[in-house]
Amino acid sequence: MQGWVTQLRKGLVELSVMKVLDRDEAYGYQILQTLNAATRLELTESTLYPVLARLARDGLVIVRPAPSPTGPPRRYYRLTAAGHARLKEMTSHWIGVRDAVDHLLNGDTHESSSPQPAG
């Protein structure tokens, strides 16, 4: 069961990270704290930072280094235009999947697949 839960969470990390960056730029640890406070994804840094590196590599986010009061410079991530487009697409897919699974779990499959009576 735990394996299924973690796989499910893993698939949602990218979407969640991009959603956090949709509103404003944020640095890595800030994203981690935001996600763990707002969701039950229970993210850790070994999951988040590779995702950020990949998003940067794919041109979906841009990085702005800025001095930090606590130590090394922070890297602020912001969605690019391609990132916003990808987020919109992913959100649409997620809503479709979520609705389909909700229908399935609520036992709505019979109604939705039954032919409508004529006339």
Partner 1 sequence: MSQAAPSLPDDVRRRIDDHLDAIERVLLAGEVSRTERRTIVDEVETQIYDMLAARPEQDPATAVTAILAALDPPAAYAGSPGLTGQGSPGPCGQPEGTTTSSAASEQAAAASDMSKPFREGLLIGNLRRQWRRWWSPSSSHRRVSPPAVVGAVWAGLALFLALMSAAAHRPPDPLIGLLLLVGLSGIVGVTVLGFVAVRRIRRSEGREYGLPLALVEAFLFPTILANLALIGLLSATDGAGLVVLAGLIIIAANIALGRYAWRRFGTRFLDRVGSY
Tokens encoding 110: 């019979």
Pick between residue 53 and residue 101 the one whose CB is nearest to partner 1: 53
**Residue 12 to residue 86: CA distance in whole angstroms:** 14
Shortest distance (Å) from residue 7 CB to partner 1 = 6
CA distance 25 to 76: 6
Our finding on whether 47 is near partner 1 (CB under 8 A) is yes
Does residue 83 touch partner 1 according to CB under 8 A? no
φ/ψ (deg, to 5) at 49: -65, -40
Q: Which residue stretch of 62-70, 86-94, 96-104, 111-119 sits at the interface with partner 1 (rule: CB under 8 A)?
A: 62-70
Window contacting partner 1 (CB under 8 A); options: 23-31, 81-89, 94-102, 104-112: 23-31
Q: Which of 24, 38, 53, 82 binds partner 1 (CB under 8 A)?
A: 53
